[in-house]
C-alpha cells in the first residue's frame, strides 16, 4: 500500500485547514454535529467543545447532534448529560438507534415489512432500546428468530471473530440483519473498539442481507434536516471525525462538511489530538478513502 503523503498522493489538492469556527460560523445557519470523536471521547467532552457550542448557540445557530449510536434518542441524551454535555448545548438529537426503532414501528418499505416480529439482538445487555416498546419479541435462540438486529459488542475488547458462530447460525437460516450503528470502530478514550458496522460488514461478506440505519446513508440526513428546522436552501455544515460516515454522508446529502482530524483518523494521519495534520498526508488519506471534506480542523473549537 502506498503510504499517505507519498509522491503518488502529492498531486492531490490540499484540504483547507481551519484553526477554529470563529472565522467561518457566519457562513452557516445550522450545524449537524457528530458525537463520538467530535464532541466527546466516550468519557468526557473534548477540549474546547463546550466553549465552541456555546459560541455557536450565542450566534443563533441551530445545532443538531447526529449520532450513529445504536440506542434511542432519550438514551443518547442521558449519556451526553452524564458525560458533561448539557441539553442546552444543542437543539436536537437524532441517533441511528432511533431510526431503527421508527423503521421497526412504521415498516416504511417492503424490506422492513417482510421482517416478521421475532428478533435476535447481537449486542450488550441493556443496549436494546432500539427494539423495545414495540410489537416485537426478543428471542434468545437464533432458530426462533425472523431477523437479527446488531447493536454492537457484548464487552470491551471484543473482536468480530467472536461473533462468527452467531452470524453463521443467522446466515444458515438466511436471516436479514439490521445494523443499528454503521461505524466500524470507535475510540473510547485511547482504546479502539469495534462497532456494529464491523460485525454487519462481516455478515455481508458471508452473503447476508444487511440494512444499515445511520450515517452515511441518505434517509437519516433527510430526517436530520427536517429536525434542524431550517427552511429549504439553508446553509448547513456537517461536522464529524469519520471520512467514511460523516464526510461521505454529508457529500451524498449535498452538504458542506468539516473533518475533525484528531478523532478516528489521528493515527493514520500521524498526529496527536488537537494537532494539525500534514496537508499532503490528509489529502492522501481522503483520496484513499474516497471522501473529501469542504475543510478540516484539528478539533471542534471556536
Q: What is the DSSP string of 37-83?
A: TTTB-SSSBPTTHHHHHHHHHHTT-EEEEEE--SS-HHHHHHHHHHH
Domain ranges of the chain: 17-68+216-297, 109-212
Taking the alpha carbons at both ends of the chain, their separation in whole angstroms is 36
When pLDDT is cut at 50, 70 and 90, the band that residue 234 belongs to is confident
- Residue 289, pLDDT > 50, answer yes
Interatomic CA distance for residues 294 and 266, integer angstroms:
18
Q: Running DSSP on this structure, what letter comes out for residue 155?
A: S
pLDDT of 112: 97
Interatomic CA distance for residues 36 and 270, integer angstroms:
20
**Topology of the domain comprising 17-68+216-297:** Rossmann fold (3.40.50)
- pTM beyond 0.75: the answer is yes
Q: What share of the chain has pLDDT > 90, as a percent?
A: 79
pLDDT of 185: 83
Number of neighbouring beta carbons within 10 Å of residue 227? 18
Nearest to 92 by CA among 270, 262, 229: 229
**pLDDT tens-digit series, residues 48-86:** 999 999 999 999 999 999 999 999 999 999 999 999 999
| 235: three-class secondary structure by DSSP | coil
Q: What share of the chain has pLDDT > 70, as a percent?
A: 93
pLDDT of 187: 67
Beta strand 210-212 with 177-179 is parallel
When pLDDT is cut at 50, 70 and 90, the band that residue 10 belongs to is very low
297: its cell numbers:
480542523
Residues 6+ away with beta carbon under 8 Å from 14: 279, 280, 282, 283
Give me the chain's average pLDDT, please. 91
What's the CATH superfamily of 109-212?
HAD superfamily/HAD-like (3.40.50.1000)
Nearest to 192 by CA among 256, 141, 242, 250: 242
Answer yes or no: same fold for 17-68+216-297 and 109-212. Answer: yes
pLDDT of 155: 83
pLDDT of 8: 40
Beta strand 185-188 with 191-194 is antiparallel
**Mean pLDDT value across residues 141-160:** 93
**Mean pLDDT value across residues 123-131:** 80
**Mean pLDDT value across residues 98-109:** 96
Amino acid at each position: 500500500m502506498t503510504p499517505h503523503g507519498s509522491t503518488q498522493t502529492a498531486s492531490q489538492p490540499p484540504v483547507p485547514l481551519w484553526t477554529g469556527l470563529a472565522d467561518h460560523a457566519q457562513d452557516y445557519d445550522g450545524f449537524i454535529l457528530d458525537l463520538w470523536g467530535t464532541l466527546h471521547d466516550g468519557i468526557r467532552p473534548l477540549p474546547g467543545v463546550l466553549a465552541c457550542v456555546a459560541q455557536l448557540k450565542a450566534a443563533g445557530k441551530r445545532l443538531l447532534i447526529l449520532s450513529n449510536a445504536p440506542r434511542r434518542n432519550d438514551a443518547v441524551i442521558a449519556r451526553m448529560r452524564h458525560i458533561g454535555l448539557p441539553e442546552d448545548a444543542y437543539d436536537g438529537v437524532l441517533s441511528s438507534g432511533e431510526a431503527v426503532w421508527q423503521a421497526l414501528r412504521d415498516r416504511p418499505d417492503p424490506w422492513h415489512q417482510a421482517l416478521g416480529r421475532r428478533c435476535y439482538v447481537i449486542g450488550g445487555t441493556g443496549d436494546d432500546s432500539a427494539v423495545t416498546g414495540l410489537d416485537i419479541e426478543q428471542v434468545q435462540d437464533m432458530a426462533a428468530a425472523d431477523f437479527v438486529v446488531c447493536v454492537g459488542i457484548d464487552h470491551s475488547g471484543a473482536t468480530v471473530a467472536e461473533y462468527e458462530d452467531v452470524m453463521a447460525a443467522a446466515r444458515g437460516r438466511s436471516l436479514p440483519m439490521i445494523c443499528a450503528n454503521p461505524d466500524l470502530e470507535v475510540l473510547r478514550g485511547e482504546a479502539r473498539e469495534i462497532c456494529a458496522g464491523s460485525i454487519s460488514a462481516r455478515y455481508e461478506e458471508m452473503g447476508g442481507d444487511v440494512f444499515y440505519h445511520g450515517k452515511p446513508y441518505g434517509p437519516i440526513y433527510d430526517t436530520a434536516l427536517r429536525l434542524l428546522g431550517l427552511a429549504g436552501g439553508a446553509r448547513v455544515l456537517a461536522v464529524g471525525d469519520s471520512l467514511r460516515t460523516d464526510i461521505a454522508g454529508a457529500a451524498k446529502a449535498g452538504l458542506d462538511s468539516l473533518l475533525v482530524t484528531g478523532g478516528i483518523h489521528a493515527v493514520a494521519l500521524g498526529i496527536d489530538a488537537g494537532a494539525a495534520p500534514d496537508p499532503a498526508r490528509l489529502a492522501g488519506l481522503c483520496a484513499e478513502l474516497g471522501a473529501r471534506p469542504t475543510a478540516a480542523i484539528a478539533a471542534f473549537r471556536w
